Each structure stands twice: as C-alpha cells, then as structure tokens.
Amino acid sequence: MGETKYFDEMLNADGSIREPYRILGDWLDGQPKQALKQLSQDAETIFRRLGITFAVYGSNEATERLIPFDVIPRVIAAQEWRRLEKGIEQRVKALNMFLWDLYHSQDIIRAGRIPEKLIVQNDAFCPQMMGLNPPKGIYSHIIGVDIVRTGPDDFYVLEDNLRTPSGVSYMLEDREAMMHLVPDLFHKLKVAPVENYPENLRRTMESVAPDNCPGNPNLVVLTPGIYNSAYFEHSFLADQMGATLCEGQDLFVDGGKVYMRTTLGPQRVDVIYRRIDDDYIDPLTFKADSMLGVPGLFDAYRAGNVTLINAPGTGIADDKAVYTYVPQIIEFYLGEKPILKNVPTYNCSSDSERAYVLENLEHLVVKEVHGSGGYGMLVGPASTKKQRAEFSEKIQARPDNYIVQPTLALSTCPTFVGKGIAPRHVDLRPFVLVGDKIRITPGGLTRVALKQGSLVVNSSQGGGTKDTWVLED
Amino acid sequence: MLGRSAANLFWMSRYVERAENMARLLEVGYRMSLTERGEDGSSEYLLSMLQAAEAEEAFKEKHDTVDVASVAHFMLFDTDNPSSVKSCLFNARTNAKSVRTEITTDMWESLNSTWLEFSQVQPRHVLGNKLPSFLQSVKQSSNQFRGAVLGTLMRTDGFAFAQTGGFIERADNTARILDVKYYVLLPRASMVGGDVDIQQWTMILRAASAHRAYRHIYHDRYKAWNIADFLIFRKEMPRSLAFCTTSVTAMLGMLDQIYGEPSSCHDEAIKMAQFLTAGGMNKVFDQGLHEYLTGFIAANNQLTNAISESYNFY
C-alpha cells in the first residue's frame, strides 16, 4: 500500500510518471542496481575533496561535516517555475516597500493594517534605521524564499529570508557535481543554468553602490571568519565574484569612509555584502563587545559612503510573526492578490485560537518567533507527550512568542537512500537578487529530509540537499 | 591584496615547507641513530637533531628517554609541539582556508587531502619499520603542494608572498639541518675527516636530497668542506642558503614591480644575499660553522619582520 496523502513530485496517484519527470524516470529505470550507489560515493568524494563543509557547533571530534547530497535531482516544469517566479517577485517587491515604509512614514501601521506593537517592540526592528535612505531605496538585496508544495498547484511560502539567506553555494556546487556525475542526462533534458548567479550578484552589488562612489565600486564579502558555519559559502561567493573576502579586522572607518588594509595601505570600500548579523556589524552603534564588526561602519553607512547588503533592520520583514501579515502587505503596497500562499497560522493571543492549538498540538507545528535552523520548534506528529506538555506551558506563558501552523503534507521526491529509491519530503529555497532589477535564479536549493517520515529538512537536523532542475520550454 | 591575506599566504607556504623539513631533520637523526649502540635505546644523534630544531626542552618536558619512538612521535604527531608535522599541516590548512579566494582549487585540494590523510594516520602503524617510507610520503605531499603552486597560481602579488614564505622557511631549515653536525660530537677529535665524520656529513646531504647532485658538482669524495659549501653557497642547489635568499630577493623584486614602488625590506634581503655571496667557506670556518649558521638564522628572522612590516601583515 502506497502512502497517498503526500503529493509525489515524480509519480501520479496511479503510479505513472508525471510529465516533467518522464526522461529522468526512464533514466532511473535504466540504471543498473549498483549505479546509484556508485554515483553517491563519487559525489561524496567530490564534495569531501572540495572541502564543501559546514561547521557544527559544539561537536569536538568532527567540526566539519558534509551535507549529505542526493544524486536524484528535483525537476520543476517550465510553467510551474514561471508561476513561482511571479509569486516570488511580487513578494520581494512588497517586502522591500514594506521596509521602506516602516523606516519612514509607517503608513501601514497608521492604516491599521498591521499592529504597531508587532513592529516597534520587535527585536528585529532597528530604530537606528529610521529616516535613513539606503542607496536606491533597497533594503534586502539577497533573499531566499522557502517554499513547500502540497499538491500539483499548491505552493506555500514557509518563510522569507531577507537577512542573510545561506545555501546558495550548495545550489551551485550541487549543479557542478551533477554535471560531472551525469552529463548524459543534461544532454537529454534542457535544464536552466544556475551558473550565472555569482555574476548576477556582482551586477546587483555594483548597481546599488553609493552615488558618490568614485569609479568602479570596490566590493567585499564580510565574514565572521573561518570558524563560522557558513565560511565555505562566504569564501566561495567572494571567489566566484572576484570580490575581496574580509573579516572585521581587515576594515576600518576613517573620515566617514570605509577602507580595507591592504599590502599597499588603505583602499576604499564601496559595497559590503556582510554575512555578520546586525547586532555585530558595528560595536559603536550596536553590541559594544563584538569583535566581529567594524567600528564606525554604521556612521559611514548613514553618511551614504558605503552600501550594506543587506541593510540593517531587514530582519523585521522576515520575522515569523510579521510573516502572517505578508498577504496583507502585498495587497497594501501593490494592490494585488498574493500569487503564493502563506501557510495558515494560528494566533495564540486569541483565546479561542489558543484553546484550539493547545487541544491539537500533536497535529501542529510550533515555531519560536525568533528561532531558526530548526531549533526551538515542535513538530507535533513526531513529538513525545513530554515535549507537547513543555510547549503547552511555553505557549501559555508567552503566546506572542510562538507561531503555530498545521502540519503541511510536504511533497516528496524520489531519493536514493542506500537500499534503493524511496520518497522523501522536500522543500525549496530559490534565490532572488534585488538591485537595478530583480533577478531570480531558475532553481534553488532543494533540501530533503533523509529520515523516513521526517518533515524537518534543515541541515543542522540531518537534512540533505539535491540539485533542482528547472526545465526550459 | 589584504595585508592579512598576504600574511596567510606567506605562512601557509612556510608551514608546508616546515612540515617537510621536520621530516627531513627526523630522517637525518633517525638514520644516524641506526648506527648507534646506546643503552636503553637512547640516542645521541636524535638528541642533536632536537637541539638543532630548538625542541630539546619541550621534548624533555614530556619524555625521559630520547629514543626513536618518542622522538618520532614528538616530531610528527604531537600537537603540543608547534613545529610537529601535524601542527604544521594543521596551520598550513588553516592559513589556506583563510585565503581560499587567493589560492587555487588545486592548492586547496592538495593541502586538504594531505591534512585529511595525515590526521587519520595511527602513529603506532608508522613509527616502526614504516618510518622511512612515511617520512618519504610527507616530503612527497609537500612536493605536490609546491607543484600546485607553481603550476596553477597566478603570478600576482599572492604568488610572490607565498614563495617568499617558502624560501625563508627553507633557508632556516637548511641552516638547522647543517647545524645538526655541530651538535653531534665525534668520539675523538682525531676522528675529524674519518669514516664516522664523513658518514655523518653524508646523512646531512641526504636529508637535503643532495647526495647525488653533490657528485655532479664536485666530482669528488664526500668532504665536509665541500658539503658545507654546497648547502650554503652553491646557487645551483635549490635548498642552499644562497639559492633561498636569492629567490627571496627575486620575489621581493617581483612585488616592487607589481606595486610600482620599492619597499624597504627589499634592501634588507639584498644585503643578506650579498653577505652570503661574499666571503665563502674560509670565512665560515674562521668564524665557526655553528656561529655562522646561528647568525644566519637570526638575520633571516629579522628579514621576516621587515617583510611583515613593509606589507602590513597582521
């Protein structure tokens, strides 16, 4: 008996292959028994050798791990992608307008469309940004939108990541590995390229350089350093763009301008793609004890002498509590109906909704408003009685601190699991660049929950990745 | 280029070179120790080697007997020893990781796989009869890394920094390898020039991979005078002090060209190269080989400081 309640990306309910997967399905059928195993091993060798690792905090013996990679790609049809693309574009446009409004006249609050206390009392709101005009009026330049699918036409946005979305290097390296492992499949299918992402990132960064930037803008990627879990990605992106990879100690501010310390003395810096959180970028403005950032950076930003990517304070737009208002945000600024759906979310502050939530925890997902990476969440169907009791207390103590959603029937994708091919749940993080125009890379990072039945795809929770193939017409 | 990146490239090469030379030093000590008949397995030769590496004190804090197993473990695997091969490879990889954007994939893969392999080696599996071939493999991986640098790295300032670090470290190590001979005492003064003396010198030549090249240059038996001349002054010999300092000068010259302005450390390097080409062996033996080498090592350190200052290493 097959499971019928999950949408299978490859198979129709009657077991026939869905059209976008036809060629891949035939190819899989034609593979000898050991072939996929061999491909998996080859892939692991490639990733290990390249050192595509992420650091795991609090684990001594293996501080660098590989993210498991699945050799069976996820396929998205051209028309499916076009819809996603439109929906994503609409969303990031509205969210950037929302950010401008919040840090200027706050029309949306005055119109009563979003509660004031949700914004101004929010840790992610950055009062220092009030009245500041970021170059070209853009707050979030690099965005990852997490999308899940529950049916042929049912796509839901799970989360918007407007601060420092990671994973783009995996999207690129997964493709690189696949082109190496199964070149013959690329001959048979027309897969949209993802390789120009770094070039587009460069163009995006250049297009938002400060107006007073002299000559060609000097671009840098600012990393917390080699012990950061995403350091590989930081160096990878700097490398692919031809930008300088800097740590805080490499930069300094003088006369309101940012410079880097080079072998030839100071050199002006114009655009900083910072992978350091708001609180740590400038000890003079934010956390005083932080050694990661650059003293005076925010003043240089405020003076319009440097562009920060993404702007401080963008986090307010991807706050889990604000998320529930995104459909209203889209309607308020664009006057359009949202193309992509939000996951319905219960409001625990309301007595009746909270009562329902507490009664039905085993069917629901509870997320801490400020949690990330799969920490601080309860997945009802996979939880123990004890865990549910804990969360029940937590929710009653601080109803505002949690969002609660129904467990979504995440679609599954055929995945190689050692013994053979089995369906595993997936999500998708496409990457968007916002500069002189909006550029969406066709594809993205597909994350897959490798454990049978698991709905948690985060790499820190044992999830893996697979390449995402957007087909061209 | 960021001053920090330049420093990382410089030290990355130094650590790779040092790892190789620790293996070379150990090789000299080990081979010499094979001819000894010491009580309780302790070895005078290995002790000399530790002295030349300036590691005697640190070693004795941890071990009572200077025998092959404990010395080899200390020199290869002990992470408390900042110059052990393992420490060097770890540091080289960390430096490389910090400058991933300045090095090539070939370089990274070479260092990364060397580290992964080395860190998985069980010391007890290689400390016995397998030691010579294990030392060989350490040298090979250093050769491979150097090959990756020469074959793939763009000839920009980063290349010059990486090469400079490698040559400075090699000069230091050749001086130390030669200096082992100072610490090794001959049973009687009359044995100078005798079989044991010459055998010791030969091993030093071997450690520098130079015992065959020697014949081509000198057409003569192994002689102390020639061997010292070979490893100090001969510019044909890629591990000699003269070759290394000349190469450092050339690399600093390359930086001047790239940057379009001369740096003060360049003068210092030129002075050192001149010092090495003037005088010759008479001067060395007048002064005393050990004193000469000690003076060189100090000057070499000073040059490192001058380079760090000129190019904003931090």
Cβ–Cβ of A264/B314 closer than 8 Å?
Answer: no
Do A193 and A120 belong to one domain?
A: yes
Cα Rg of chain B (Å, integer): 19
CA angle B154–A197–A79, rounded 5-degree value: 150
Query: Residue A243 sits in a domain of what CATH number?
Result: 3.40.50.11290
- Could you tell me which of B204, B196, B212, B192 has the C-alpha nearest to residue B232? B204
Domain C-terminal end among A406, A421, A451: A406
The pair of three-digit structure tokens given for residue B215, joined into one six-digit string: 């014949």
d(CA B116, CA B118): 6
State whether residue B291 sits within 8 Å of chain A by CB: no
From chain A, the residues in CB contact with B109 under 8 A are: 49-51
Cβ of B109 and A49 within 8 Å? yes
Q: Does A236 touch chain B (CB under 8 A)?
A: yes
Residues 6+ away with beta carbon under 8 Å from A83 = A155, A339
The pLDDT of residue B190 is 63
| Contact residues, chain A, for B110 at CB < 8 Å | none
B residues 141-160 near A, CB within 8 Å?
157
pLDDT of residue B276: 78
Task: Report pLDDT for B189.
Answer: 63
Question: A313 in the Ramachandran plot: left (φ > 0), alpha (ψ -120 to 50) or beta?
Answer: left
Does A4 score more than 50 pLDDT? Answer: no
The dihedrals phi and psi of A425, each to the nearest 5 degrees, come to: -70, 145
Distance of residue A361 Cα from the nearest chain B Cα, in angstroms: 45
Residue A162 placed within a domain: yes
State pLDDT tens for residues A86-118. Answer: 999 999 999 999 999 999 999 999 999 999 989
Report the percent of chain A where pLDDT is more than 70.
94
Mean pLDDT lowest for which of A45-54, A76-85, A263-272, A429-438?
A: A45-54
Backbone angles phi, psi at A65, to 5 degrees: -125, 155
B263 Cβ under 8 Å from any chain A Cβ:
no
* pLDDT the model gives residue B34: 86
Tokens of B256: 């001047």
Q: Is A45 a domain residue?
A: yes
pLDDT band of residue B40 (cuts 50, 70, 90) is confident
When the pLDDT of each residue in chain A is averaged and rounded to a whole number, the result is 90
**Are A255 and A279 contained in the same domain?**
yes
State yes or no: pLDDT of A62 exceeds 50: no
pTM: 0.87
- For A327, residues 6+ apart whose C-beta sits below 8 A from its C-beta are A338, A342
Q: Model confidence at A52, in pLDDT bands (50, 70, 90)?
A: low
Is A245 an interface residue toward B (CB < 8 Å)?
yes
Of residues B193 and B101, more confidence is placed in B101
pLDDT value at residue B220? 84
B122 pLDDT more than 60: yes
Confidence at B231, pLDDT banded by 50, 70, 90: very high
A447, part of any domain: yes
**SS3 assignment, position A460:** helix
Asked if A246 and A283 sit in the same domain, the reply is: yes
Q: Is 60 exceeded by the pLDDT of residue A3?
A: no
* Of A174-183, A192-201, A440-449, B29-38, minimum mean pLDDT range: B29-38
Cα separation, A412 vs B63, whole angstroms: 60
> Within a domain: residue A26?
yes
Structural contact between residues A323 and A345, judged by C-beta atoms closer than 8 angstroms: yes
Q: Quote the ipTM score.
A: 0.83
By the CB < 8 Å criterion, does A366 face chain B? no
Whether residues A361 and A438 share a domain: the answer is no
Confidence of residue A9 (pLDDT cuts 50, 70, 90): very high
H runs (alpha helix) in A246-350: 297-302, 320-323, 326-334
CB-nearest to B3 from A51, A238, A262 is A262
pLDDT tens profile A428-462: 999 999 999 999 999 999 999 988 888 777 766 77
Q: Are A115 and A400 in contact (CB under 8 A)?
A: no
Q: Across A42-46, A266-270, A391-395, which has the greatest mean pLDDT?
A: A266-270
Answer whether residue A311 shows pLDDT above 80. Answer: yes
Same domain, A295 and A400: no
Predicted pLDDT of residue A2: 40
**Cβ separation of A261 and B98 shorter than 8 Å?**
no
Quick check: A250 and B259 CB within 8 A?
no
- Whether A415 contacts A127, CB under 8 Å: no
Among the partner residues B4, B97, B105, nearest to A249 by beta-carbon distance: B4
Residue ending a domain, among A305, A326, A358, is A305
B258 touches chain A (CB under 8 A): no
**Does the pLDDT at position B230 exceed 60?**
yes
Report if residue A14 sits inside a domain: no
Q: Which of A60, A219, A263, A267 to mutate to test the interface with B (most CBs of B within 10 A)?
A: A263
How big is the A-B interface in CB pairs under 8 Å? 56
Count how many domains chain A has. Answer: 3
Q: Is B112 on the interface with A (CB under 8 A)?
A: yes
Contact of B101 with chain A, judged by CB distance below 8 Å, is answered with yes
The bridge status of strand A219-222 relative to strand A244-246 is parallel
Check residue A1 and give its pLDDT: 35
> Do B108 and A260 make contact, defined as CB atoms within 8 angstroms?
no
Residue B312 touches chain A, beta carbons under 8 Å: yes
* Residue A8 within a domain: no
- Residue A238's closest chain B neighbor by CA? B101
Q: Do A50 and B109 touch (CB under 8 A)?
A: yes
Reported as a single tens digit per residue, the pLDDT across A325-379 is 999 999 999 999 999 999 998 888 888 889 999 999 998 999 887 765 556 788 8
Question: Is the CB of residue B282 less than 8 Å away from at least one CB of chain A?
Answer: no
Q: Determine, yes or no, domain membership for A12.
A: no
Number of residues in chain B: 314
Cβ count near A47 (within 10 Å): 20
pLDDT at residue B29 is higher than 90: no
State residue A78's pLDDT score.
96
Average pLDDT over residues B190-194: 71
Lowest mean pLDDT segment, chosen from A110-124, A237-251, B266-280: B266-280
Q: Whole-angstrom Cα distance, residue A255 to residue B208?
A: 54
User: Which site among B10, B91, B95, B97 would you substitute to test the A interface, given the most A Cβ atoms closer than 10 Å to its Cβ?
Assistant: B97
Is A13 inside any structural domain? no
Distance, CA of B47 to CA of B34 (rounded, Å): 13
Judged by DSSP in three states, A258 sits in strand
Strand partners, A144: A161, A431
For A400-434, give one letter per residue: b (16+ CB within 10 A) or e: ebbbbbeebbbbbbbbbbeeeeebbbbbbbbbbbb
How much is the pLDDT for A59? 42
Q: Are residues A440 and A386 located together in one domain of the fold?
A: no
Burial environment of residue A304 by CB neighbours within 10 A (0 to 12, 13 to 18, 19 or more): middle
Q: Flag whether residue A330 sits within 8 Å of chain B, measured between CB atoms.
A: no
DSSP readout, chain B?
-BHHHHHHHHHHHHHHHHHHHHHHHHHHHHHHHTT---GGG--HHHHHHHHHTT-HHHHHHH-SS--HHHHHHHHHT-TTSTTSHHHHHHHHHHHHHHTTTTS-HHHHHHHHHHHHHHHH--HHHHSSTTHHHHHHHHHHHHHHHHHHHHHHS-SSHHHHHHHHHHHHHHHHHHHHHHHHHHHSPPSSGGGTTSHHHHHHHHHHHHHTT-HHHHHHHH-S---HHHHHHHHHT-TTSTTSHHHHHHHHHHHHHHHHHHHTS--HHHHHHHHHHHHHHSS-HHHHHHH-HHHHHHHHHHHHHHHHHHHHHHTT--
Positive or negative torsion for Cα A432, A434, A438, A441: negative
By percentage, how much of chain A surpasses pLDDT 90? 70
Same-domain pairing of A221 and A177: no
Tokens matching residue A98: 């929302």
What DSSP element (H or E) covers A236? helix A231-241
A405: which strand partners?
A365
**Same domain for A355 and A240:** no
Whether residue A178 sits in one domain with residue A62: yes
**What is the CATH number for A356?**
3.30.1490.270
Question: Do A173 and A310 fall into the same domain?
Answer: yes
Is residue A388 scored above 50 in pLDDT? Answer: yes
Mean pLDDT throughout B39-61? 88
Residue A293 domain boundaries? 211-305
Contact A239 B101 (CB under 8 A): yes
Nearest chain A residue (CA) to B263: A264
Which chain B positions have a beta carbon within 8 Å of A49's beta carbon?
Answer: 109, 112-113
Last residue of a domain, which of A253, A282, A305? A305
Residues A53 and A131 in one domain: yes
Instruction: Tell me which chain A residues have a C-beta less than 8 angstroms from the C-beta of B116.
Output: 48
Q: What is the pLDDT of residue A28?
A: 93
Instruction: Please tell me the predicted confidence (pLDDT) of residue A290.
Output: 80
pLDDT at B59 over 70: yes
Looking at the complex, report in whole angstroms how far the Cα of residue B228 sits from the nearest Cα belonging to chain A: 37
In terms of domains, do A226 and A144 share one?
no
